[in-house]
Chain A
């Protein structure tokens, strides 16, 4: 049963199993374990980014394709849902058609980019995606009558997903069972389902073929695989998954703008999460996204504490001042890439006896 659910891709390392279970339990019971708005926001962001990063790993780690258009697909999904909710009202049907439209548009874009440019060398494909994604980001901020420009869109969600909605009057474990909590669980289960679907895809005959294409496209052709079609299909799948993650973000935030979806900064974050977690293994996306977002969110607080604690020592306290958090985030990445070149998951799996 569990084997089937995980598509036979077991963690294959004791420490990794513990780590993944820890993340799963923390996310599944986040509203009860870590009460508070900020921690719930962080937990939801982690869920969504696990899907987003896993979908990028499908492309980069499995198919060996470098793309810089992943945030564009993420944004297409988010804007699809956002536009539907803001134009046809905060209903479930708007949510569904907006999400479906976003996923379809992302798929078509990916198909077009793939067919036009996956025949050329990898570096050219990367450049094409960079150009298309930049153009798309500019387009979205210019079409302000539609997208709200740089300000983005604010909209409502169905009543059951609003904080004011109460499922039951009593609190459970001191936590109010309101719309926000329901919405969190919607995001959690949708993310889990999407992750398991991707886990199945990478462990299917198709996923295995992607690895062959990544390793040696020349030989893959010679044994009968049409490489361009495999690469294009991988690009489309990954784009659709990214768009669905974008839709989840749009529903969760009730806001969609360029800064939350389309920015190059997010693209770089995704790249880092894949590399830190470990390319070519979807569990790497889970570990990478969790660690990265936790660091991004809490490093400043942690450093604030450190600064107070070291306030008597002059240079050290300046070094650990909260405003230098980006410096330390950078140091953490350099160290993690240096010590775990195959990512955290790769390192843990190598280490198994």
Chain B
């Protein structure tokens, strides 16, 4: 296979909040079809780095390049249309709507049907079927008619992942997808991420604290520390690095 240009690249990506540099000159390229784990202690800037890529925050400096196109100044929906998708660490759903409708709205956005105001939404059967297919995959189909705000936390976390899967972007960004899930629910989500990874067109960025999850899924690990990229490489190598050992052995006892 010939070496392609990376699907996603950040060059000198920086954001300052007043005097505090939350993400500091991060340059990193992500190849198509790979899964990169982003690790680092709490406050290292992992979620902020995600926010800069998916557009919730605008960079103070540096660039974000997707498929050779600079997207640094683009709005969130523009980036989404170009293939960046995000699942959030703090669950962010449509609380008064039911589970099926949450996923259906994603399928509808993907089909660019949002401004159709003359047809009945219930007539777009393929969007409903698509939603139910994804709900089946994440094993939420039994809750399809439940209103989201009444859902247990673990199911809300699953739905959070389901929304990203329904969007099916080229670049999938998972921010601690299994946090807050019960032990028996975690494998379902990990299996889904593994399946997405095997689909060669997808590029996955994963923020995760559980070292066993990272070991089994990641092709590569990058380490952020105080906003800067301090290590990048093969999972086995990176895990052995002193800075990682220190960060993980020091902060999260269950890891490593």
Give, as a whole number of angstroms, the nearest-CB distance from B195 to chain A: 21
Tell me whether A221 is interfacial, beta carbon within 8 Å: yes
Of A83-91, A142-150, A199-207, the stretch lying at the interface with chain B is: A199-207
Asked whether, in the complex, the Cβ of A222 is within 8 Å of the Cβ of B117, the reply is no
* Cα distance, A208 to B111, chains bound together (Å): 14
Residues of B within 8 A of A (CB): 54, 56, 75-77, 80-81, 85-86, 88, 92-97, 101, 104-106, 108-110, 113-124, 163, 167
- Could you say which residues of chain B place their CB within 8 Å of the CB of A220? 94, 105
- Could you say which residues of chain A place their CB within 8 Å of the CB of B124? 205
Asked whether, in the complex, the Cβ of A224 is within 8 Å of the Cβ of B94, the reply is no
Asked whether, in the complex, the Cβ of A223 is within 8 Å of the Cβ of B75, the reply is no
Give, as a whole number of angstroms, the nearest-CB distance from A51 to chain B: 17
Instruction: Output the residue of A7, A216, A219 with the most chain B CB within 10 A.
Output: A219
- Interface size range on A against B: 20 to 34
- Could you say which residues of chain B place their CB within 8 Å of the CB of A216? 92-95
- Could you say which residues of chain A place their CB within 8 Å of the CB of B167? 223-224
Instruction: Output the residue of B93, B96, B97, B115 with the most chain A CB within 10 A.
Output: B115
Tell me whether A8 is interfacial, beta carbon within 8 Å: yes
Closest to A7 in B: B120
Give, as a whole number of angstroms, the nearest-CB distance from B2 to chain A: 32
Asked whether, in the complex, the Cβ of B94 is within 8 Å of the Cβ of A211, the reply is yes
Asked whether, in the complex, the Cβ of B163 is within 8 Å of the Cβ of A223, the reply is yes
Asked whether, in the complex, the Cβ of B97 is within 8 Å of the Cβ of A204, the reply is no
- Could you say which residues of chain A place their CB within 8 Å of the CB of B123? 8
A200-B117, A204-B117, A224-B80 are known; give 8 further A-B pairs, CB within 8 A. Answer: A4-B120, A205-B121, A212-B97, A215-B94, A216-B94, A222-B92, A224-B110, A237-B117
Asked whether, in the complex, the Cβ of A205 is within 8 Å of the Cβ of B80, the reply is no
Q: Tell me whether A205 and B114 are in contact in the complex, defined as CB-CB below 8 angstroms, given that A221-B76, A222-B80, A223-B163 are known contacts.
A: yes
Tell me whether A218 is interfacial, beta carbon within 8 Å: yes
Give, as a whole number of angstroms, the nearest-CB distance from B232 to chain A: 27
Q: Tell me whether A218 and B77 are in contact in the complex, defined as CB-CB below 8 angstroms, given that A205-B117, A208-B101 are known contacts.
A: no
A1-44 vs B, Cβ < 8 Å mask (1 yes, 0 no) = 00010011000000000000000000000000000000000000
Give, as a whole number of angstroms, the nearest-CB distance from A236 to chain B: 12
Instruction: Output the residue of B94, B96, B101, B118 with the most chain A CB within 10 A.
Output: B94
List residues of A (199-250) whose CB comes within 8 Å of B's CBs. 200-201, 203-209, 211-212, 215-216, 218-227, 230, 233, 237
Q: Is the interface of A mostly helix, strand, loop or mixed?
A: helix
Asked whether, in the complex, the Cβ of A222 is within 8 Å of the Cβ of B122, the reply is no
User: Out of B92, B108, B114, which one reaches A219, CB within 8 Å?
Assistant: B92
Asked whether, in the complex, the Cβ of A207 is within 8 Å of the Cβ of B121, the reply is yes
* Cα distance, A218 to B119, chains bound together (Å): 26
Q: 15 A–B contact pairs at CB < 8 A?
A: A7-B120, A200-B120, A203-B121, A204-B121, A206-B114, A209-B115, A215-B97, A216-B93, A218-B92, A219-B88, A219-B94, A222-B54, A222-B56, A223-B85, A233-B115
User: Out of A206, A223, A224, which one reaches B115, CB within 8 Å?
Assistant: A206
- Could you say which residues of chain B place their CB within 8 Å of the CB of A211? 94, 96-97
- Could you say which residues of chain A place their CB within 8 Å of the CB of B110? 224
Asked whether, in the complex, the Cβ of A226 is within 8 Å of the Cβ of B93, the reply is no
Asked whether, in the complex, the Cβ of A208 is within 8 Å of the Cβ of B105, the reply is yes
* Cα distance, A336 to B204, chains bound together (Å): 52
Asked whether, in the complex, the Cβ of A212 is within 8 Å of the Cβ of B105, the reply is yes
Instruction: Output the residue of B76, B96, B97 with the most chain A CB within 10 A.
Output: B76
Give, as a whole number of angstroms, the nearest-CB distance from A102 to chain B: 21
- Could you say which residues of chain A place their CB within 8 Å of the CB of B96? 211, 215
- Could you say which residues of chain B place their CB within 8 Å of the CB of A201? 117
Give, as a whole number of angstroms, the nearest-CB distance from B57 to chain A: 12
Asked whether, in the complex, the Cβ of A215 is within 8 Å of the Cβ of B95, the reply is yes
- Could you say which residues of chain A place their CB within 8 Å of the CB of B76? 221-222
Give, as a whole number of angstroms, the nearest-CB distance from B153 to chain A: 17
- Could you say which residues of chain B place their CB within 8 Å of the CB of A203? 120-122
- Could you say which residues of chain B place their CB within 8 Å of the CB of A230? 114
User: Out of B75, B95, B101, B119, which one reaches A221, CB within 8 Å?
Assistant: B75
Instruction: Output the residue of A203, A211, A225, A237 with the most chain B CB within 10 A.
Output: A225
- Could you say which residues of chain B place their CB within 8 Å of the CB of A7? 120
* Cα distance, A224 to B76, chains bound together (Å): 7
Q: Which 10 residue pairs are nearest across A and B when measured between Cβ atoms?
A: A206-B117, A224-B80, A215-B94, A224-B109, A221-B76, A205-B116, A205-B113, A204-B117, A219-B92, A209-B114
* Cα distance, A84 to B92, chains bound together (Å): 50
Asked whether, in the complex, the Cβ of A208 is within 8 Å of the Cβ of B108, the reply is yes
